[in-house]
């Protein structure tokens, strides 16, 4: 029997047993029973390399889970991975505590999510940016090429030299997808546009190396690029600073980064990791969820911080391209479909 219920019954029995027998006082109206709310398991979020305040991918995930927390009044568990060996351990620890869903932020956590999800088939798991095919896992992936196409078009329209730059983080097919979409957008506007591109590295450290990002951006500026798009996590901070210092333009990624350097940030390619995490925490749906322009999963950002940089002509052109991509009139090549950028 529930201990609270037993205690309440004992108190009631004592009051009756000890009360006066002659003309007992009228019983007070019984209070309405409090609604029983099942707490349920808490979600858990495993932030990846770069930390939850990287002003980019991880921070977007943080924004999403915080929105869920504010709306529901519930809490969640979290862990920030600082080296790759911590991923599996952190996910398993959350599972042992009964957390559900357990949300891994970033493709690098896919193998760990897969392994632990098999060990805890009754718990729910999710992976952002990769696919894990298990019945208790929700995989959320994005059409980064579509959002990158739009900011590539903006870059080409803003460029005075006809040369645009791209700085990627870790050299993986996912980041090549950003680059390919960006190049397609630039050449959609200006078929003669030239792309200067560099990747920061081949390990997880590439996501958090602002100094190297700044060096790569400066090298591209020296070769004539005057707009640079960084898809590099925390490394992008160095790219944006270099653009500001050099009087060039930069494009942010994942979160709206326009506020970082108003007047320098042409726009940001929004990858709505916040929406993905919020939706998973709210309602876990096993299987693969794909978020593109049509689903509001990717977009570009215009606000007070970049309003003076984005002309009406730019907005008109980009909005038309956006509508054509959604309708299927414009087909943006996905680098990951064939590990090649052929368009």
The predicted-structure confidence for 55-81, as pLDDT tens digits, reads as follows: 888 999 999 999 999 999 999 999 999
In the chain, the percentage of residues whose pLDDT exceeds 90 is 83
| 162, 244: one domain | yes
| 194, 261: one domain | yes
Q: For residues 177 and 140, is the Cβ–Cβ distance under 8 A? A: no
User: Of 125, 142, 159, which residue constitutes the final position of a domain?
Assistant: 142
| 122, 250: one domain | no
Which ranges of the chain have pLDDT less than 50? 1-38
| 208, 331: one domain | yes
Q: What is the pTM of this model?
A: 0.83
| Proportion of the chain in helix, strand, coil states, percent, rounded to 5 | 45, 20, 35
Q: What is the per-residue pLDDT across 1-60, written as a single tens digit (0 to 9) for each? A: 433 333 333 333 233 333 333 444 444 444 444 433 345 799 999 999 888 998 888 999
Does any domain span residue 26? no
SS3 252: strand
Q: What is the CATH number of the domain that holds 234?
A: 3.40.50.2300
| 316, 194: one domain | yes
| CA distances for 283 relative to 31, 90, 286, angstroms | 34, 22, 10
DSSP 8-class letter at 20: -
Q: Which two tokens stand for residue 209?
A: 């190396």
Where in the sequence is the domain holding 178, given as residue range(s)?
Answer: 144-271+308-338
Does any domain span residue 77? yes
Q: For residues 98 and 41, is the Cβ–Cβ distance under 8 A? A: yes
Q: For residues 138 and 289, is the Cβ–Cβ distance under 8 A? A: yes
Distance CA(109)–CA(257), nearest Å, equals 25
Q: Which two tokens stand for residue 280?
A: 């998973």
In the chain, the percentage of residues whose pLDDT exceeds 70 is 89
Number of separate domains in the chain: 2
Q: 46 phi and psi, to 5 degrees?
A: -105, 100
| 72, 180: one domain | no
Cis, bond preceding 101 (omega within 30 deg of 0): yes
Q: For residues 145 and 334, is the Cβ–Cβ distance under 8 A? A: yes
Q: For residues 259 and 279, is the Cβ–Cβ distance under 8 A? A: no
């Amino acid at each position: 029997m529930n201990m609270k219920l037993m205690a309440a019954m004992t108190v009631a029995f004592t009051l009756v047993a000890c009360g006066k027998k002659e003309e007992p006082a009228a019983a007070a109206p019984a209070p309405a029973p409090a609604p029983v709310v099942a707490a349920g398991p808490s979600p858990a979020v495993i932030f990846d390399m770069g930390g939850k305040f990287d002003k980019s991918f991880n921070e977007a995930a943080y924004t999403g889970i915080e929105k869920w927390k504010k709306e529901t009044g519930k809490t969640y568990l979290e862990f920030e991975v600082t080296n790759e060996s911590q991923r599996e351990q952190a996910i398993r620890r959350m599972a042992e505590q009964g957390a559900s869903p357990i949300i891994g932020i970033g493709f690098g956590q896919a193998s760990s999510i897969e392994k632990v999800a098999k060990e805890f088939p009754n718990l729910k798991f999710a992976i952002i940016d990769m696919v894990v095919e298990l019945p208790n896992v929700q995989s959320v992936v994005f059409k980064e090429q579509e959002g990158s196409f739009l900011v590539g078009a903006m870059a080409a329209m803003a460029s005075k030299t006809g040369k645009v730059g791209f700085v990627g983080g870790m050299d993986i097919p996912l980041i090549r997808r950003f680059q390919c979409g960006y190049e397609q957008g630039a050449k959609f506007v200006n078929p003669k546009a030239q792309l200067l591109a560099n990747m920061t590295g081949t390990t997880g450290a590439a996501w958090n190396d602002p100094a190297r990002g700044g060096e790569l951006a400066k090298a591209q500026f020296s070769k004539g690029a005057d707009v640079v798009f960084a898809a590099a996590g925390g490394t992008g901070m160095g790219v944006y600073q270099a653009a500001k210092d050099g009087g060039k333009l930069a494009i942010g990624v994942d979160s709206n980064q326009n506020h970082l350097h108003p007047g320098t940030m042409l726009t940001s390619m929004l990858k709505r990791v916040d929406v993905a995490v919020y939706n998973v925490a709210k309602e876990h749906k096993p299987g693969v969820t794909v978020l593109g322009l049509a689903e509001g999963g990717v977009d570009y950002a215009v606000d007070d911080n970049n309003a003076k940089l984005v002309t009406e002509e730019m907005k008109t052109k980009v909005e038309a391209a956006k509508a054509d991509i959604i309708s299927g009139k414009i087909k943006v090549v996905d680098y990951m479909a064939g590990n090649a950028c052929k368009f």
